[in-house]
Amino acid sequence: MPSLRADQAVQRGPAVRFVADGCAVDAFEGESVAAALFAAGWRELRRSPRDNAPRGMFCLMGSCQECVVWVGAHKLPACQVPAAAGLEIESLDFREQRLG
């Protein structure tokens, strides 16, 4: 799949690998986790509460709360989490299943 990253105008920072739901995701340091997951083809991040409909990033400015993920003990909008080496992300469903 051709990359969604547009490198015409920028030089990205160092390549990093982080873990999301136990899977390795390749990204560049400083990108938002939401964008990095999106570029990796991971568009669905959670399910809506009543209709169980798939949801993903939407506003990209930390307002809509659609892209929330777990980062350790913190639930944060993925669009406001910078990708870093060794970061461990869990989607809401994944953590809920893990905790049983």
Partner 1 sequence: MAEAPPSPIDLLVIGAGPAGARAALRAQACGLEVLLVDENSDAGGQVWRPLPPGFTRAAGVRSSAEAMQGDALRDELSGSGIRCLFGHKVWNVGGSLRTDLIGPEGVVSWQPRALLVATGTTERVVPFAGWTLPGIIGLAAATILLKSQNMLPGRRTVVAGSGPLLMAVASGILKAGGDVAAVLDLASRADWLQTLPSLASRPDLLWQGVQWKALLGRAGVPLLYRHGIASVEALGNEFRVHAQQVDMTGAPVAHAAPVVFEADAVAVGHGLVPGTDVTRLLRARHRYEAARGGWIADADAQGRTSIAGLYVAGDGAGIAGAAAAGAHGELAAVACAHDLGRLTAEAHARERNRLLAQWRKPARFGRAMAGLMALREGAVAGIAPDTVVCRCEDVTRAEIDAAARDGARDMNQLKAWTRCGMGPCQGRTCGDVAGALLAAHVGNREAVGCFTGRAPLRPVSLAEVAGDYTYADIPIPKAAPL
Partner 2 sequence: MSGNARSSTACDAVVVGGGVMGCSTALHLAQGGMRVALVDRGPLCREASGVNAGTLTLHMTRAALVPYAMRAWRMWMDAEKWLGMGVLATPVPGLTLAFTEAECELVELRARARREYGAPIEVISPARAREIEPGVHPGLLKAGYCDIDGFASAYLTGRAFRHALTAAGVDVIENTPVEGIDSGDAGHVVRFGAAASRPPLQATRVVLAGGVWIENMLAWLGVQIPIKVLVNQLIITERVRPVMRTVLSVANGLLSLKQFANGTVLIGGGWQGEGDRERGGVEARPENLVGNMRLAAYAVPALAEARIARIWLGLEAETADAMPIIGDVPGVPRAYVVGSAHSGYTSGPFMGRIMAQHILGQQPELPLFDPARLLGMPMPGA
Q: Which does 53 bind (CB under 5 to 8 A by kind): partner 2, partner 1, none?
A: partner 1
Q: What's the rounded Cα separation, in Å, for the pair 10 and 14?
A: 13
Told to check if 86 binds partner 2 by CB under 8 A, we report: no
6 binding partner 2? (CB under 8 A): no
| Length of the chain in terms of residues written | 100
Residue nearer to partner 2 on the CB measure, 27 or 34 = 34
φ and ψ of 92, to 5 deg: -60, -45
Are the C-beta atoms of 22 and 33 separated by less than 8 Å? Answer: no
In the list 26, 44, 88, 96, the residue contacting partner 2 (rule: CB under 8 A) is 96
**Region label for 11, one of left (φ > 0), alpha (ψ between -120 and 50) or beta (otherwise):** beta
* Residues near partner 1, by CB under 8 A: 2, 4-14, 28-32, 35, 38-39, 41, 43-45, 48-51, 53-66, 68, 73-75, 80, 82
